[in-house]
Structure formats: structure tokens, C-alpha cells
Structure 1
């Protein structure tokens, strides 16, 4: 893509303007996120999706189509450890191996370069993508201007110092125009722009709990769920394909999370175990979920940030 140029001219006081030559001018090329191409994003392709894969009949949004995550199947009503009602978004299966996101800082400063978009190098469906990103701090010179670089390759080619931190952020990459209006603790629900190989990408951020990598991995927390058809290796329509059991006339499940964002062990990456749907009416908190008949443990790790605790 093309950059635009900012021309910086320095003329020493008392020196004739005609004495200036090319060495007195410094030209910086800046990427403009307002005019840059937008990267193609498809969370529901066979390459990107696991539980949420587009078919001709399931109605999942097309590639690059804006997604309303405030409607099913992208949001679920569940239960907290003590039986309190919670709601969480469903961003599908994710790895415990985080992907890197590069955040730029001027040398000697503790806040990111103002106006600079963060940089990623993988998209949904590409090898190594994860909604969970481990922050890599990039140190740039004092005269660096926001968006001089817009790709990981440029960071490397300039030889900027990179420091991998332990800080983890939950930022699902989504198509432009997507919405997910719920957050905890007054966090903004707006969509954020970033760079991917000199193209603009859009992502949400969920900061209901500060996260750090644990032994290089995304931490997980348990969730206990019940499906309309208990998981059966010989039945492709069982388990997640059959949907969650809900209360009569309601969208309320008895899926029980083991932790809340106020708990030290909380993580929005949930390790899914299933209990027998015959026990659905008996399950109303973590104790009853754990004691219910198990029909599958550690079935998947899913990104489901809690966004409502009425």
C-alpha cells in the first residue's frame, strides 16, 4: 500500500534559506489507517472455525460480513459458581498457545506511542492465530512517528528492540462493523483497529480480568455444560451440534462456570466438560455440576468472556 509523506524542514536561525540542501530535510513515510486496505476476515470458514463453521443451512455470516455477537449462537446465558446468572460470548475453540501482538513504545516511555495501531501477523484461519495475544513491547526511537510501521516484517527490518512480556489480552479479530455491546466494569465495547501486513484489521477487547501467560500458555478455567444430545462419537449430531439444553420457554442454560472475573483463577478460556442432560434440572451451581454424571471431560477449550453478572 502507499504511504503519505510528512516533510520536516529545519532551518537554523540566522542562516539563509538558500543555504539549505537535501541533507537539511528529513522525509518520513506514514501509513494512513483511514485510507489503507482492510484485511479479509472470516471466523466461520472450515479453516478458522471449530464449533462455528458455516454451512449452507446454519446461517452463520459470510466472510467479511459484520457479525452481531449480541444474538445467538454467539451469546449464552449460564450460571456462576453460586448459581448466579451470567452471560458470556462464544468465540469458539482457541489454543492455549497465545499469538504475539506488537505494541510500540518510544524509548524511555511507559505508554504506547499515541496514534500507533498495534500490529499482528496472523488472522483467523491462518496457522498460529489465537484470540489470545501475548504483548511484545517494541522500543522505537524518540523521533518515531505513529504508523511509520504497519507490519511485523517492518519491525524486524528496522531492528527495533522487542521484549516479550507476560501480559495477555483477549482480542478476537472480527470483520469490520461487527458489534458486541456487553462488557463488565465499564469497559468500552467499541471496535479497535490494528495493522496486519499493512492492512487494517478490527478486533474487540475484553478486559474483565487482567491476564498473564502461565508457563507460556493461556490459563484455563472449568465450565460444565449440558447438550440436548449427550456427546457420542458415533453421532455427528450429538454434543455441540445439538445445542445446549435450556429451561422451558427460555434461553437460560445450566452451563456452570467455575470462576468469575473477581476470582484469582478466572480465565475466559474455558475447559469444557459435559454432564448428562438427564441431570439438567439438578444442576444449579458448581457443586451440583461437579457431582452430576459426566459424559465427557476436557472436550475443548473455548473463548467465552463473561460480560454480564446481573
Structure 2
């Protein structure tokens, strides 16, 4: 059995109800218990026996895979493929452990940190559907279902977990798309949980984590096709009262200031001489109550670069632009040498 096959079939068994439900939001549910925290179900009836008689299951190992392109003009904002860069082709595996996909920055106290760069993402999460029996147990072997992939309108790396309740006679992987889901009388309950699960081409790698979650790929369903995604759980995320992804500030400087020709992101982050170390400062770290991997970007004058070493000095620098974008940059290392 290949490493990929092992990853696709792996089972994550966690003791404790709420933890299992939270993980099931991005992991294909295989074992666990209840712990629903949601309300306002979309439908009040579960699947009927008659609705399942004509359903057919799909084998994820034999199903087609969706083509994933994170760098098309439709999918990318800061990272769009052109003749001048070396961004991977559509559906080519991405190595996120190399530039420009990983950055060395600073924490609020001046700690050295690393974070991945998954480009601009909106604050409104997309729904992901996780399947449970009427007794609260996750449906063994059922892959989660999403409605959008990179390039689709409404796509987001951040997913709002919705619990789907199915009867005991439901067969795993009968539902493999949002259309399938809506064809049945099914109870769908939104939870409070948000998961950071970037959809990527199969074979992609991102080996660093600040938490203890598996760094391998997880499989889901999109429109009857298999997709792969990472899971970043360095800190729990809950939807805001406005049903948005929480955000936290980050302060950055570029080689050329944004108000100059060729300035801003296209000029690259300013770094220390002969080093990849930026003075980009995140305002919070995993474990802080205010932490979020979705950062609101504030740009400070690169003339202040040498004087910026922590959050206090970053906020005291000359700020050129505030809240210019929200970017998905999960912190994956703190205090490395």
C-alpha cells in the first residue's frame, strides 16, 4: 500500500464528544461520539428509507478526482500564475515548505515564527458537511462534502462545519455532492466550528504544524469527485456573531512601499541582509484568545524596518495602509532558531 493510500484510509480516534465533532468537520468521519454545538437546522426531517432506495454509493478509491488550481486568475489574488513566476501548473502538487509559500516573521513579543501563505481569503466561510447517525456517531468511511473548490465563486479555505444527520441504513459515500445532499429530506445543522482546510492538488505537502494534527492530506467529495485538503488546528476557531471567520492583525513591510512604482506584494517582503527573516509581526500566537490564522494586513513604511522587532514597535511605525486584505497564514512554528 502506498503512503497516499495509507493517508486516505487512516482513522483518527479521539476520546471526548466535542473534540470528535470538531475534527469531523474536516476529517472524513470514521469513529467517535456526539457533541453537536449547532442550532437552526435547515430541514426538520431525516432521510427516509424510500429516499435511500435509489441511491448508489461511490468508492473514493476509484472515483475521479477534481482538478485543483490555486493560482489561476479566478482562484489567486497575491499568487497568480504568469510567465514571470514559477508557480505550479494546474493540479501539480505544491510544496508549501518552500518559498513563496512559507515566511519567517516575528511574534508579538519578538519571537521568531514561521507561517504558511495560502493567499487572500474572504471572511465569510464556505459550508462543509460532516455526516452523523441519528445517535450522534460519525458515519464510518464517509468523506465530507463541499460545494466549492479554488476558483469557484464563494470558495474559502475556511469552512463552517454543518452536521448532516442520516438514518442507520444510510450507506457511506452515497452522498458525494451538494446536489445529492439537497435531493434528500435531511437534517443539516450548522455548528459554531470553523476549520482551516485549504483544498490543494493531490500529492501536495505542508509538513509543519504548531499543533499536533496530522500533516497529511484528507479526502473529501466535491460534485461527485474526490478532493484533497490540509487541516490546520493550531487553535480552535468559532464563527463570530456575524457568522464570519475571526481575524487578527499582522504588520508587514515590502521591499518597495505600496505607493511607489512596482511596490507592495509584487516587490516581495523586506528581509534582513542575506536572510529570509522578515520583520512581519503577527499580533497573536496559537494559544492566545485573540489568535486567528486569517490576518488583516497592515503595511508599515519600510524605512522603519530596522526598528521593528515586536508588536509594540510595529504599531509605533509609520503605517501606510490598514486592513488591505485578509490572508490565510497559519502559524506553524514559534521560537525556532
The gaps in structure 1 that reach 5 residues or longer are 1-25
Q: 2 CA distance for matches of 1:28 and 1:94?
A: 35
Partner residue, 1:264: 289
Give the counterpart of 1:106 among 125, 129, 133: 133
- 1:257-276, Cα deviation, whole Å (9 max, x unpaired): 00001100100000000111
Answer yes or no: is 1:216 the counterpart of 2:250.
Answer: no
Bigger strand share: 1
Partner residue, 1:294: 319
> 1:61, CA displacement in angstroms?
0.5
Answer yes or no: is 1:139 the counterpart of 2:168.
Answer: no
Q: 2 CA distance for matches of 1:112 and 1:298?
A: 39
Partner residue, 1:6: none
Q: What is the aligned residue count? A: 282
1:88-237 to structure 2, matched below 5 A, reads 88-109=115-136, 111-214=137-240, 215-232=242-259, 235=261, 237=262
> 1:28, CA displacement in angstroms?
6.4
Q: 1 CA distance for matches of 2:196 and 2:174?
A: 26
Q: 2 CA distance for matches of 1:299 and 1:265?
A: 20
Secondary structure at the aligned position of 1:76 is classed as strand
Answer yes or no: is 1:255 the counterpart of 2:280.
Answer: yes
Scaled by the length of structure 1, the TM-score of the pair is: 0.89
Partner residue, 2:34: none
Give the counterpart of 1:244 among 262, 266, 269: 269
Q: 1 CA distance for matches of 2:246 and 2:80?
A: 25
> 1:304, CA displacement in angstroms?
0.1
Q: What is the RMSD computed on CA atoms of the aligned residues?
A: 1.1
Greater C-alpha Rg = 1
Scaled by the length of structure 2, the TM-score of the pair is: 0.82
Answer yes or no: is 1:36 the counterpart of 2:36.
Answer: no
Secondary structure at the aligned position of 1:224 is classed as strand
Secondary structure at the aligned position of 2:265 is classed as helix
Secondary structure at the aligned position of 2:304 is classed as helix
Secondary structure at the aligned position of 2:183 is classed as helix
Give the counterpart of 1:279 among 304, 308, 320: 304
Q: 2 CA distance for matches of 1:185 and 1:224?
A: 23
The structure-2 alpha-carbon separation of the partners of 1:238 and 1:45, relative to structure 1 and needing over 3 Å to count, comes to: same
- 1:136-192, Cα deviation, whole Å (9 max, x unpaired): 110000121211111111111111111111110000000010000001222110001
Secondary structure at the aligned position of 2:249 is classed as strand
Q: 2 CA distance for matches of 1:37 and 1:131?
A: 22
Q: 2 CA distance for matches of 1:33 and 1:260?
A: 37
Retained in 1: the 8 A contact 2:69–2:90?
A: yes
> 1:27, CA displacement in angstroms?
8.3
> 1:299, CA displacement in angstroms?
0.8
